[in-house]
Amino acid sequence: MKAGVAFSNHSDPGHAGCEVAQQAVSQSGPPVLSILFTTDAYAPKAVLDAVLKKINGSKLLGFCCGGIITTEGVQTQGVGLCTLSGNLRTTTTLQKGLSRNPEEAGRNAGEALLQDGIQQGTVIALPDGFQADLSEVLRGLYNRMGATFRYIGGGAGDNLKFFKTHQFTEQGFANDALAAAVVDNIAVSTGIGHGWTPMGDPLVMTKVQGKIVYEIDGIPAFEAYRKRLGDISKEEFQRQGMFHPLGFPDVFGQYIIRDPLTVNDDNSINFVTEVPSHAVGNIMEAEIKQLIETAERAGKQAVSGVHKPSFVLLFDCISRVLLMGDRFNKEIRAIRNAVGPKVPLLGALTFGEIGSYEDVPLFHNKTTVVAVGGDVAE
Alpha helices in the chain (DSSP H): 13-28, 44-54, 102-114, 134-145, 221-229, 234-243, 288-304, 318-324, 328-339
Select 24 or 213, whichever has its Cβ closest to another protein: 213
Residues 207-246 that bind another protein (CB under 8 A): none
Shortest CB 221 distance to another protein, Å: 17
Per CB under 8 A, the list member of 30, 53, 57, 147 interacting with another protein is: 147
Phi, psi of 266 (to 5 degrees): -85, 15
Rounded to whole angstroms, the Cα distance separating 176 from 200 reads 38
3-state helix, strand, coil in the chain (%, to 5): 30, 35, 35
Residue 277 engages another protein in binding (rule: CB under 8 A): yes
For position 112 contacting another protein by CB under 8 A, the verdict is: no
Q: Which amino acid is at 3?
A: A
Among 367, 212, 218, 184, CA closest to 286: 367
251 binds another protein (CB under 8 A): yes
C-alpha separations of 175 from 27, 95, 108 in Å: 31, 10, 17
Q: Is 145 in the site for another protein (CB under 8 A)?
A: yes
- The answer to whether residue 252 forms part of the interface with another protein (CB under 8 A) is yes
Query: Quick check: 280 binds another protein (CB under 8 A)?
Result: yes
57 makes contact with another protein (CB under 8 A): no
We find the least distance from the C-beta atom of residue 362 to another protein, in angstroms, to be: 6
Minimum Å distance from CB 121 to another protein?
14
Closer Cβ to another protein, 123 or 145, answer by number: 145
Instruction: Closer to another protein by CB, 230 or 253: give it.
Output: 253
Give the chain's end-to-end CA distance (angstroms, integer): 13
**Does 43 contact another protein by CB under 8 A?**
no
* Residue ranges in contact with another protein by CB under 8 A: 114, 135, 139, 142-147, 198, 202, 204, 248-254, 256, 276-282, 356-360, 362
